[in-house]
Amino acid sequence: MRTTRGKAANFDHSRLKGVQSSAESHGESSPMAEHQSFSNHTRLDPIFHFFVLPAFALGLILALIHFFAHITEGSIFDQIHSFLLVVLAFAFVVVVLKVRLYPLKVQDRVIRLEERLRLATLLSQPLRSRIPELTEGQLIALRFASDAEVPELAERALNEKLAPADIKKAIQNWRPDYWRV
């Protein structure tokens, strides 16, 4: 007996072919034009990874060099100044990392919720009751699996305690996530 939740799993996606995403309707293109797979699903943010993070790391390194150059000579004020530069540079590096990690954690929470709802519509009752046993990493990895292979992969993840990387490697029909930060 199918419930209304089961009908959601049989949603006809072909009705959405003419619908544009909000990014497309504003003249933007998908962040990744190529087909997504296990080998290319990770993303780097060039501004963050190749400019902001290295700039603040360099600042910390230079502050440490300045500190060690003034620790043995100079007045107490030079030593305090050097120490404060290190503290501030370290604080800035921590802030930069936190600014990057907080949105990722929120995104992971949203993905967990989406996948729990998706699994509740796609899994049979015995497996549905085991959804809470899936780890955060397993839920996040399952988002790449097509609707057809989710039940089998979820069962394998639960029974074999599969690592997220193993789940992703087992996916045959990759469901891309182009909007991950």
| Cα 156 to the center of its chain, rounded Å | 22
Judge whether 68 lies within some domain: yes
**Overall domain count for the chain:** 2
Residue 130 lies in a domain: yes
Residue 32 has pLDDT above 60, yes or no: no
Domain assignment present for residue 115? The answer is no
CA distance 129 to 112: 16
Report if pTM > 0.75: no
Q: What percent of the chain has pLDDT over 70?
A: 76
Q: How far apart (Å, rounded) are the C-alpha atoms in residues 31 and 13?
A: 22
Is 82 part of any domain?
Answer: yes
| 80, 128: one domain | no
Q: Could you tell me the residue range of the domain that residue 155 belongs to?
A: 123-175
Q: Which residue pairs, CB below 8 angstroms and at least 24 apart, start in 124-129?
A: 124/151, 127/151, 127/154, 127/155, 127/158
Average pLDDT over residues 141-163: 94
What integer pLDDT is reported at residue 37 of this predicted model? 59
Stretch 131-137: mean pLDDT: 94
